[in-house]
A and B are shown apart, each in its own frame.
Chain A
Amino acid sequence: MGQGAAGRMDTGARAGIGAVAAGLVGRHTVWVLLVFLVAVGGIFAPAFLSPANIFNVLRQATALGFVSIGQTFAIAADCIDLSVGAVISLTSCLAAGIMDGQAGGILPALGVVAVSVTGVGLINGLAVGYRKGNPFIVTLGSMAVVNGAVLLYTQEQHVGSAPPGFRIIAEGALGPVPLPVLLALVAFVAAHFVLRHTQYGRYVLAVGGNEEVARLSGIATLRIKILTYLVAAGGAGVTGLFLTARMNVGDPLVGMGFELDAISAVVIGGTDIMGGRGSIAGTLGGVLLYAVLSNVMNLLNILPFSQIVVKGVIIILAISAYHLRRAR
């Protein structure tokens, strides 16, 4: 791409700058965009850079963070998971419904959530890995099933509430740093190490890169796919629990749209939508970009519907930057 861009430039000096800029944008698109947005926010909305607002942005980012971590593994393994939004709603309603404000309900609620999240992940994984279903179609189906079940169970009403002991995960703080932000940070670091430095992480990239080569190399690809869907569902489950604590209620519609936001954050972060390449650090950037974008637009009083349009444009821009890089 550097050479292509250079060829269209008139002078050597401009060509050099163009190539450097293109290279920088290509490799670090998400961070360049983030810095740009922070600068825009800082200039046009003075409140943006206040510590309180920064922590507010980070707290907003945590919900998307957990589910996006799971989705990074899923997309890197070429096992995209569209059911994560539904799993978030399911978790929220199950947890709040079972706890119903009682501290004694926390453990049973966690148990039930763990079992049901595992169930969804297992079914997705078996359908894709064992029955060779198309990941997009399979998880589109499980998304509908889970969403429908949640709406049946709740009759479209909010259910239950969270006891104070549970709300700590959303409201607690260590000094000035909100507890959820710390938890998310730990999760990102751990996920980064798993993807880069463990056997499972390598196998995820191998299965996503070329499943047949992975299989012929002696990798139990079925196991990797099942595990990956468990990770994806697990990330969604944590997001669901976190949202329950923050909103103090079980909401059957809370997860709606999370699957698309998560996929966008992951892909903006440089994970290849075709699988084989993934970056947890990039996903962190994508999640932050999303949170900052919403926050800045809110501060600038941009209408919600316009915000959706802006988000869409940013996704398209970011992805074309990565494609330009790959074409090089």
Chain B
Amino acid sequence: MEQISKRFPGVTALAGVSLSCDRGEVLALVGENGAGKSTLMKILSGAYRPDAGRIVFKGREIQISSPAQAQQLGIAIIMQEFNLLPHLTVEENIWLGREPVKGYGVIDGRTMTARSHALIESLNVRLQPDQLVSDLSVAQRQFVEIAKALSLGADLIIMDEPSSTLTEHELDYLFRVIGELKQRGVAVIYISHRLGEVFHIADRATVLKDGALVGSRAIREVTQGDLVQMMVGRTLADTFPPRRGGERSPVLRVGGLSRRGVLHDISLEVRAGEIVGLAGLVGAGRTQLARAIFGADPIDGGTVELFGKAVRLRGPHDAVRAGMALIPEDRKLEGLIQLLSIRHNIGLPNLDMFRRFGFIRQRQEREACLQWFRQLDIRAAGPDQLAVSLSGGNQQKIVLAKWLVRHPGLIILDEPTRGIDVGAKAEIYRIMRQLADTGTAILMISSELPEILGMANRILVMREGRLTAELDGATATEESIMAAATGTAAERPVP
């Protein structure tokens, strides 16, 4: 791939990125969340089209206009979410849509099974063609995907974060299969931000950052530290308002919070007037922690205290009543009811404040909306406009307004600036800082390190469902956060 560029409205996702991968080579593609790895791979697999640049495959310049065409060319992509039908068997999945037939559309089961056996054996994995996919482990499903890719004659297999849900043992198995692929001369692009694995399996690593190519190095010639430096080495944007806030009383206190397989013995504290950043890789359990504190997911053990009083977490309504607010990661699906008006959305958690004799005082509700329109500089035609018609930044402000009406003591923000433009981002930061200055406790999940470093008084880092570090916001660096998030350096224990 040479000089690939891709722009989305408001953002440049990729700026002139080039990379190459030879036959029988395993290329690791690394970079932080949002560095452009997935966009690049979606271009290769035909899901997106590049705005500029060219793709050369097996010596020929090609245009990939659809996933089906990518498949025909011999490019297969294995996503984190599998494209398998769980109620069909292994062989039915492998040959889906290309089943060997005897004629009259009758499937030649024997041939199908024989070919599947051959495929599976050549990969040297333990799988039966007649097993149901729903009975398989995640790793085994990956093997089915790989077998399917091979049956299609793939010369390039792209794996997007294949290890994120695997156990150590399964991972070893996956590495063996990748080794098998190398032997056959298949090119493999392995996307991961776990550097340990990269050093174990890859021949070369290409690093992306903010949609641009940082460099491409042979694994033998670099150390993990070098790669981390390449991934994060950038200066802090100065869009962040100055940090303040001294020692104040704790608002939220979480003790030993656990949810089997997701969260392990998490204890933390957020004080009034403080912004605590929660960093970690995607899948580290940060959103799950926020949902558990808010009562949205059940927990197996642990306590949540707000203003020194234990909160019973039967559901979010308990958390809301206690004075918490959660601004979820996915605005469209969890933050706003798209087909209701702005007023109905803002009113939703606050009807107890607007009602008299059981009736909603609509004028008061409307006035509260207009007041927050002014305070947060929300640009909308009026309170009765439908939420769906607003831009991302304005939608996020509506979600904020919906909670600020209640003046919550604790606000949990999950990726508060994802997918919104730079101007709106700066405004969200300003609002967050203002809230903290007036004594609100804020817990902010973010995958953007500059955002965490720029906003947080303290930074908690999660990895695989555990808190692995607590860093001071003023002295933390992207390197120290990434080290704790990926587990590459010695971890500093949580005090």
Contact = CB atoms under 8 A, between A and B. Distances in A.
20 contacts: A193-B359, A197-B362, A198-B359, A198-B360, A199-B360, A202-B347, A202-B348, A205-B340, A206-B340, A210-B333, A210-B337, A213-B335, A213-B336, A213-B337, A214-B337, A217-B402, A218-B320, A218-B349, A219-B349, A276-B339
A91 to B, nearest CB: 27
Interface of A: 193, 197-199, 202-203, 205-206, 209-210, 212-220, 276-277
Nearest to A275: B339
Interface stretch (B255-263, B311-319, B370-378): B311-319
Contacts, number: 72
B282 interface: no
Interface string B322-346: 0000101000011111111000100
B351 interface: yes
The list of the 10 closest CB pairs from A to B, nearest first, reads: A218-B320, A209-B337, A217-B349, A218-B317, A217-B348, A199-B351, A210-B337, A218-B349, A220-B317, A197-B359
Contacts of B320: 217-218
A300 B154 CA distance: 70
B321 to A, nearest CB: 7
A146 to B, nearest CB: 30
Contacts of B362: 197
Given A213-B336, A215-B296, A216-B294, A202 B351 contact: yes
B484 to A, nearest CB: 29
Given A219-B317, A220-B315, A199 B358 contact: yes
Most chain-B CB neighbours within 10 Å: which of A199, A203, A276? A199
Interface of B: 294, 296, 315-317, 319-321, 326, 328, 333-340, 344, 347-349, 351-352, 355, 358-360, 362, 402
Contacts of B338: 209-210
Given A216-B316, A216-B328, A218-B319, A206 B339 contact: no
B203 to A, nearest CB: 44
A30 B335 CA distance: 33
A218 B321 contact: yes
A215 B316 contact: yes
Contacts of B402: 217
Contacts of A203: 351
A254 to B, nearest CB: 34
A216 B319 CA distance: 9
Contacts of A202: 344, 347-348, 351, 360
B358 A213 contact: no
Given A218-B349, A276-B337, 16 more contacts: A198-B355, A198-B360, A199-B352, A199-B355, A206-B348, A209-B338, A210-B333, A210-B337, A213-B334, A213-B337, A213-B348, A215-B296, A216-B326, A216-B334, A217-B316, A218-B321
